Amino acid sequence: MQTDYLDFYLLHGMDENSFDAFTDESRDYIGFLQEQKRLGRIRYLGFSSHAAPETLSRFLEWYDGFDMALLQLNYIDWKLLNAKRQYEIVTAHNIPIWVMEPMKGGILSSLNPKAAKILKDAAPNRSLASWGFRFLMGLPNVRTILSGMSSIAQIKDNLTIFDKPDPLSSQEIKILEKAADAFLEDRSVPCTGCRYCCSVCPAGLDIPLLIKGYNEHRVSGETWRIAGLSRIKHGPESCLQCGLCLKHCPQKIEIPHIMKQFAAVRK
């Protein structure tokens, strides 16, 4: 890396599967990392987590000397995946929060027609993405928001939004909650595209891509989106229903069940 130190080092993926390893005194991961900080090799030490609130709380009761925590926060997961409680737990330990998945894998920059209309009627000149970012700006303990952009237009929109931070007003929060409810009525599957499930799938499924197609059908009702998946090598009907993917999904998605439903829709 051509450097003698790291500005930021994160203990990656603290969750129910890694909790025992991270807190194993014989391995002493934290002790080792503390020593690297003392030696100046790490300037700021943090961790990332998709853990349930109970596991997150246990972890920080065990050790809370971190300089930051990387959490999945957005206005849909605030209720859907207990992100509000996760925020509260980390904040209670006085650990600054970095945000991943602010747009929930890009989902919140498009939404479904009903939810999008609510936000566009309220603010015609604002992008849908701006609502998600401004929601996070209103959380006092959020210090950094990581935004994945895939086009020049998205970069320009992000620059406009963050050039003059403008958290949502109380009235706008009510509007956003109404839009979130409209979005969740479609019961779309909360996949973020992390791909942790793919490496253990014996059928070689591109699970995030399949779920994206399933969600697009559920949200938009456009059946051609499903037909567009016919080009891929393994469709949802190739799922073996083995369940190996389940323990690797941070979102706790019932993947085999979704694949079974999707296969039925495609027939």
227 — pLDDT class (breaks 50, 70, 90): low
pLDDT(231) > 80: no
Measure the CA angle with vertex 102, ends 107 and 169; round to 5°.
Answer: 105
CB 210 within 8 A of CB 229: yes
Mean pLDDT of 141-148: 96
pLDDT band at 159 (very low <50, low <70, confident <90, very high): very high
* Amino acid letter, residue 151: S
Could you tell me the pTM of the whole model? 0.75
Q: Express as a percent the part of the chain with pLDDT over 90.
A: 74
Tell me the Cα Rg of the chain.
Answer: 20
- What's the CA gap between 265 and 212, in Å, rounded? 14
pLDDT, mean of residues 24-43: 96
pLDDT at 228 (0 to 100): 59
| Residue matched to tokens 């929930």 | 104
Domains of the chain: residue spans and CATH: 6-184 (3.20.20.100), 198-266 (no CATH)
- How high is the pLDDT of residue 238? 95
